Amino acid sequence: MQGKLCICLLVSLLFCACGYRFSGGEGVLSGSVQSVTVRIFENKSRWSDLDVIFTNDIVAKLRQSRSVNLSPGKVENVLCGKIEQVRVDTLSRSSDGTPQEKYVEIMLSVYITDDHGKKIWQTQVTEREAFFPGQSHALTMHAQNSAMAQISERLAERVMNELGQGF
């Protein structure tokens, strides 16, 4: 029963979007794009919930920007994202071969489409964050998830900078 509820909630989130209106500024969006809807990012990785984390960070950056206002009406442009790749690897090992330091690297594609579905802007950004494995699998996963959250925040900021919103 709870599984069906979770699936219904997830499906409903896929069709939800927030509209934002741009008020001046410089950069890619200062010309033809006046407002944008943000869709839940596509997650091509095996890491669950990364799509929601990345989408929320982009929305948070849009809300922080002084050049973006909430748009209650119909929005013609859609900001979409795709988590292309998540790579976790070892940076250094101890003399017995145990990982001492690891890293997470995430590649994200972001694009904006017009009301006809044509891409009018796109970028691809990659960020990497190191972390120290814990004494247990649970501690290691916690450290790795924290590194992914930091990457998500930095990637959202880089996307906003590439959009030219200058905050």
Answer whether residue 2 is part of any domain: no
Is residue 8 assigned to a domain? Answer: no
- For residue 165, the one-letter residue type is Q
What is the average pLDDT value for the chain, to the nearest integer? 81
Residue 48: which CATH number?
A: 3.30.160.150
Domain that holds residue 24: 18-163
Domain count, the chain: 1
Overall pTM surpassing 0.85 (yes/no): no
Instruction: Confirm whether 13 is domain-assigned.
Output: no
H helix count then E strand count, the chain? 3, 7
Q: What is the pLDDT of residues 42-54, one digit of tens each?
A: 999 999 899 999 9
In a domain, 65, yes or no: yes
Is the pLDDT confidence value at 147 over 70?
A: yes
Report if residue 5 sits inside a domain: no
Within a domain: residue 6?
no
> Each residue of 75-103: pLDDT tens digit?
778 899 999 999 999 999 999 988 999 99
Q: How far apart are CA 72 and CA 161, in angstroms?
A: 24
With respect to residue 9, please indicate whether it lies within any of the assigned structural domains. no
pLDDT > 90 in the chain, percent: 53
**Which conformational region is residue 110 in: left (phi greater than 0), alpha (psi within -120 to 50 degrees), or beta?**
beta
**Does residue 58 contact residue 20 with C-beta atoms inside 8 Å?**
no
Tokens matching residue 38? 């943000």
Domain annotation covers residue 158: yes
Dump pLDDT digits (tens) for 1-27. Answer: 555 444 444 444 444 455 555 554 555
